[in-house]
Chain A
């Protein structure tokens, strides 16, 4: 009896360890929740939330190309030529333009090089920015909201299974090379 109990206990412990290992392993390369400090404490909350600037005003490429794009510094100055122009943070922007060296933002969302993702077809297809990027309008500091893993992509495309052409079968043909090349 004692042997059986010890055995069961050992099995449970091993099982738990394996479970733990799998859970941990799944996190490898997963940067969900990444929220680095930026060279300028730019707040999406102020811009997109309080002032209700449309995401696409700054991330103009999101409707047209693969990447949403970091807005050109000159675009910031469209407003900041007038607004809060004495702030030292805005000074950094002027400094960047004067010295011809762009601001080095820390990249938050990054897909591996072997993944193809195109913003334009999602944005034009009616997917809200928030659906993937979360409540950006309430983020003081930009945070990676979703896991951006392959399972996460597929889950979304599967949930829409009732509505081609967005389900995974119609959208990708179930082909690896729709996204990986």
Chain B
């Protein structure tokens, strides 16, 4: 039978047979009905034939040798493409850096974007940024991958059919005019902190007077913003400053994980908690919360409560503080049991002691709760000091109530056109049904989203926007500070900034870049005196990634004693709290595989969401990690795997939102379940804490892909803690470390440099920015859930999280673990091919081209930091490949890899020094994890130089190495954890 014909018949047979092969045995291979005769026999001839062992080996050897030799003969032809016209300043092989502002979330941190041959490949914090001061979080780091997301829209679509911008611009204005005549046009965006964008929207509304702008955010802080109007009579955006805070009390606000602006908080927090630099005046942090959050895991005192009782604690705190202040404040009566009350009293006393130098935060989305917080801060004299009220004029924040009204209007058929930008209510609105119902009654829906989402799914027109790395934009950061976003690449597809679309449809010919410039010239340039000419002012702002024109008003608003209605009831049944995970946040980054595979800082779960239960609740319900349970509130029911979380507030279920996307690229599709339906609109805002939920055990088990399953240190002091007195040297540390051990190895000859690292456990918050930074810098692959379950994750740096104390309220320590670059490296002695060897400057080198994959090294590594390429991990997505760092090889299957101390950056620093005719010095380069760390916990430098920061740190502080007793002599040292207990 000719081959093609035979293949045709096979196709038919495959169609008829849905049963897949499990093994050869399970198939009937003797019959002739499945295969052409002789096919199987031929296939297995070598195996079945009665041949001697020697003959078999000959055949095998020959069959391996021939393809190997023939494949060596041909050299693949590769092409070399030059630029057609070189942009000024671009040199092939040399990176260019641009200052910009992050678009990963509303915090708008300052960035430096690294581009190679015109492609952005890495983002780093901009140390000159006035608020983030050099840090970037994991989400910010991962945005560079989202730029190359192959699921993004390629071009505009009209009713699902590809079209052109010219066509779009021809049709849309007419449609909008008709819509404007019939009813109202609504523009949905996220929070807009860009003054120019607001001006664009104003221009658009001039053209279409019936247009309403409604910002929507799943985590809107709308109660927080609203509360200042009621307590201080101002529409304000708070800016928190920790610069002289001594006591910080947070009630359910995860300010180091996802709340408000975690990077800015982490930066200031680490400075305030530096015990040696601040001579013992260390910030004290108290966290009262239900969820075990990143912030909570760093607290000196953590008080776990049920999710529904956070308000009760707040009310009690208000009562106690007002008692201490002697001012009469109308506060609701509270009843609290003795032990908790005693704790709250101690905390209140500590706050009072630090009055004017303290801060109280709450993560609640109830206006009265936030008013209570404002009242406490007012009584403590913190308003205007640690809480600065910035006028909200240049920012359009999301107000939950307005969005709720909008959905009602949509359902009522009052909306004649809907324009949705980057907000995604199709996923994040609590009732998908109501949203769909509303959308179905809107005759014209235009989506300006970057990538497909649940909202754009129902749009008639898709007019795709740019990624922020392809866009111009500005950001008002409060107090006269502005950030600028500049494009670092031409739009990869036929997309355009949404502001530009709005300008076009408003009949404006100006493009958005010129629009920003004219807006800045008129509004911002005039407010400063340093630059005489606008061009100079603008160039400076673009170069620095923003500008500070000053003029923050110091006027202290007058406090109005408000009437508070707090929900101070005790929780009877089970409470539910919905939260954002560090990586996926509210779900907008759900198609980013780096963020899915990022282990949660606390639970260490990748790729899923789950229902967290406290150990007590879990045992009461007879479930353990991985068992499925149904969580029910009213008619909302969700079945999720359980994760038993020590330290979770009693009687609480915690579920992360942002999962269960139904419309996005393949990375995020169907990962986890959508928990937004549990959100309720109560008291004018969306509430994410619910009382009275039921859980029932469901049948089945779901294995969660955890990267840390063992939580105890087995009696070894991997993590050391010392008291404040010990840290200050006024008391000898309990751990005396014997540095000298007899060694069986010959000493390495000391080279010119001795690279080493110090990691301060007191500063590490566990935020995991370093993990993603390392992944982006070193081309670390994503392996997927199945492989993580097999312990095959590839991250070069991981965060081990340890608990101590009792299960219901443990103390937590985060410990970053990377290759320790041992002097007496156990991996080096077992490698049969010398693929891992010591360098003259003290690095433990992994030579990929020598490695044959025996994995002996990984077996012999006491720190388990070596990663093996079990497969050629996917770097085959043509778009995704563009995010690869060209200075680092992509490792192939069968090769071991691990942290190299960013050898490419050392090399770059060394080369820079060499060209300048000097020795490489501190400051010539920073390694990726160090650079991205928002709390400066990682210090890298030259141990051979006694004046380097790392040398000084290790000399003055009580540095120690992991598993010193093994005498492997790591080059990574840890500074012990210092707490500041009450």
Partner of B94, one of A61, A75, A177: A61
State whether A106 and B93 are in contact (beta carbons under 8 Å apart), knowing that A71-B82, A97-B84, A114-B889 are contacts in the complex. no
Give how many A residues have a beta carbon under 8 Å from the other chain's beta carbons. Answer: 45
Which of A6-14, A49-57, A116-124, A130-138 binds B? A116-124
Q: Is A15 an interface position by the 8 A CB rule?
A: no
B85 lies within 8 A of A73 (CB): yes
B847: chain A residues within 8 A (beta carbon) = 176-177, 180
Question: In residues 833-877 of chain B, which contact A (Cβ within 8 Å)?
Answer: 837, 839-841, 843, 845-850
B92 lies within 8 A of A176 (CB): no
A177 lies within 8 A of B81 (CB): no
The residue of chain B having its C-beta at the shortest distance from the C-beta of A60 within the complex is: B91
Q: Is B75 an interface position by the 8 A CB rule?
A: yes
B78 lies within 8 A of A107 (CB): yes
A177: chain B residues within 8 A (beta carbon) = 839, 843, 845-847, 900, 903
Q: Is A103 an interface position by the 8 A CB rule?
A: yes
Partner of B93, one of A61, A97, A124, A174: A61
Question: In residues 897-915 of chain B, which contact A (Cβ within 8 Å)?
Answer: 900, 903-904, 907, 911, 914-915
A69 lies within 8 A of B888 (CB): no
Question: In residues 40-85 of chain B, which contact A (Cβ within 8 Å)?
Answer: 72, 75, 77-85
State whether A61 and B72 are in contact (beta carbons under 8 Å apart), knowing that A74-B86, A102-B81 are contacts in the complex. no
The residue of chain B having its C-beta at the shortest distance from the C-beta of A66 within the complex is: B93
Give how many B residues have a beta carbon under 8 Å from the other chain's beta carbons. Answer: 40
- Which residue among A66, A75, A96, A118 has the maximum number of chain B CB atoms within 10 Å of its CB? A66
B839: chain A residues within 8 A (beta carbon) = 173, 175-178
B914: chain A residues within 8 A (beta carbon) = 121
A69 lies within 8 A of B75 (CB): no
State whether A176 and B82 are in contact (beta carbons under 8 Å apart), knowing that A69-B92, A69-B93, A118-B911 are contacts in the complex. no
**Chain B contact residues: helix, strand, loop or mixed:** loop
Which of A28-36, A81-89, A154-162 binds B? A28-36
Interface mask (B126-145 → A, CB under 8 Å = 1, otherwise 0): 00000000000000000000
State whether A176 and B907 are in contact (beta carbons under 8 Å apart), knowing that A65-B93, A74-B85, A110-B78 are contacts in the complex. no
Q: Is B183 an interface position by the 8 A CB rule?
A: no
Partner of B840, one of A110, A118, A173: A173
Interface mask (B502-531 → A, CB under 8 Å = 1, otherwise 0): 000000000000000000000000000000
CA distance A32 to B363 in the complex (A): 67
B84 lies within 8 A of A96 (CB): yes
A114 lies within 8 A of B915 (CB): no
A124 lies within 8 A of B840 (CB): no
Q: Is B751 an interface position by the 8 A CB rule?
A: yes
A175 lies within 8 A of B93 (CB): no
CA distance A143 to B492 in the complex (A): 36
CA distance A103 to B914 in the complex (A): 35
Q: Is B890 an interface position by the 8 A CB rule?
A: yes
Q: Is A126 an interface position by the 8 A CB rule?
A: no
Minimum C-beta distance from A157 to chain B (A): 15
Q: Is A1 an interface position by the 8 A CB rule?
A: no
B850: chain A residues within 8 A (beta carbon) = 176, 180
A175 lies within 8 A of B840 (CB): yes
B911 lies within 8 A of A120 (CB): yes
A74: chain B residues within 8 A (beta carbon) = 83-86
A65 lies within 8 A of B92 (CB): yes
A176: chain B residues within 8 A (beta carbon) = 837, 839, 845, 847, 850
A61 lies within 8 A of B92 (CB): yes
Partner of A173, one of B77, B84, B841, B849: B841
Minimum C-beta distance from B302 to chain A (A): 42
Minimum C-beta distance from B303 to chain A (A): 48
Partner of A120, one of B72, B79, B915: B915
Minimum C-beta distance from A57 to chain B (A): 13
CA distance A174 to B841 in the complex (A): 10
Minimum C-beta distance from A42 to chain B (A): 12
The residue of chain B having its C-beta at the shortest distance from the C-beta of A165 within the complex is: B914
B80: chain A residues within 8 A (beta carbon) = 70, 104-107
A180: chain B residues within 8 A (beta carbon) = 845, 847-850
Q: Is A22 an interface position by the 8 A CB rule?
A: no
Question: In residues 91-119 of chain B, which contact A (Cβ within 8 Å)?
Answer: 91-94
A175: chain B residues within 8 A (beta carbon) = 839-841, 843, 845
B79 lies within 8 A of A106 (CB): yes
The residue of chain B having its C-beta at the shortest distance from the C-beta of A108 within the complex is: B80
- Which residue among B80, B81, B914 has the maximum number of chain A CB atoms within 10 Å of its CB? B80
- Which residue among A66, A74, A174, A176 has the maximum number of chain B CB atoms within 10 Å of its CB? A176
Q: Is A20 an interface position by the 8 A CB rule?
A: no
CA distance A90 to B224 in the complex (A): 67
A65: chain B residues within 8 A (beta carbon) = 91-94
Minimum C-beta distance from A168 to chain B (A): 12
State whether A114 and B848 are in contact (beta carbons under 8 Å apart), knowing that A72-B82, A120-B911 are contacts in the complex. yes
Q: Is A67 an interface position by the 8 A CB rule?
A: yes
Q: Is A92 an interface position by the 8 A CB rule?
A: no
B91: chain A residues within 8 A (beta carbon) = 60-61, 64-65, 69
B887: chain A residues within 8 A (beta carbon) = 116
Partner of B75, one of A34, A100, A121, A178: A34
Q: Is A23 an interface position by the 8 A CB rule?
A: no
Interface mask (B264-285 → A, CB under 8 Å = 1, otherwise 0): 0000000000000000000000
B72 lies within 8 A of A75 (CB): no
State whether A28 and B72 are in contact (beta carbons under 8 Å apart), knowing that A100-B84, A120-B911 are contacts in the complex. yes
A110: chain B residues within 8 A (beta carbon) = 78
A178 lies within 8 A of B907 (CB): yes
Minimum C-beta distance from B913 to chain A (A): 11
B849 lies within 8 A of A114 (CB): yes
A70 lies within 8 A of B911 (CB): no
B903 lies within 8 A of A103 (CB): no
Interface mask (A163-177 → B, CB under 8 Å = 1, otherwise 0): 000000000011111
A102: chain B residues within 8 A (beta carbon) = 81-84
CA distance A119 to B91 in the complex (A): 13
Question: In residues 317-368 of chain B, which contact A (Cβ within 8 Å)?
Answer: none
B752: chain A residues within 8 A (beta carbon) = 173
CA distance A25 to B900 in the complex (A): 31
A151: chain B residues within 8 A (beta carbon) = none
CA distance A60 to B889 in the complex (A): 25
CA distance A97 to B86 in the complex (A): 12
Minimum C-beta distance from A125 to chain B (A): 9
A116 lies within 8 A of B93 (CB): no
CA distance A67 to B850 in the complex (A): 24
CA distance A107 to B81 in the complex (A): 9
The residue of chain B having its C-beta at the shortest distance from the C-beta of A112 within the complex is: B849
Minimum C-beta distance from B908 to chain A (A): 10
Interface mask (B881-892 → A, CB under 8 Å = 1, otherwise 0): 000000111100
Q: Is A113 an interface position by the 8 A CB rule?
A: yes
B75 lies within 8 A of A31 (CB): yes
CA distance A29 to B577 in the complex (A): 60
CA distance A120 to B75 in the complex (A): 27
A181 lies within 8 A of B94 (CB): no
CA distance A106 to B75 in the complex (A): 12
A61: chain B residues within 8 A (beta carbon) = 91-94
A105: chain B residues within 8 A (beta carbon) = 79-82
21 contacts between A and B (CB under 8 A): A31-B75, A67-B92, A73-B82, A74-B84, A103-B82, A104-B81, A105-B79, A105-B81, A107-B79, A112-B849, A118-B911, A121-B911, A175-B840, A176-B847, A177-B900, A180-B849, A181-B845, A181-B888, A181-B889, A181-B904, A181-B907
Nearest 10 CB-CB pairs, A to B? A70-B82, A173-B840, A65-B93, A66-B93, A177-B845, A175-B839, A65-B94, A107-B80, A74-B85, A72-B83
Q: Given contacts A31-B75, A72-B84, could you give 16 more A-B pairs where the C-beta distance is less than 8 Å?
A: A28-B72, A34-B75, A60-B91, A61-B92, A66-B94, A67-B93, A69-B91, A72-B85, A106-B79, A116-B907, A121-B914, A173-B752, A177-B839, A177-B846, A180-B845, A181-B889
Which residues of B approach A to under 8 Å, CB–CB?
72, 75, 77-86, 91-94, 751-752, 837, 839-841, 843, 845-850, 887-890, 900, 903-904, 907, 911, 914-915
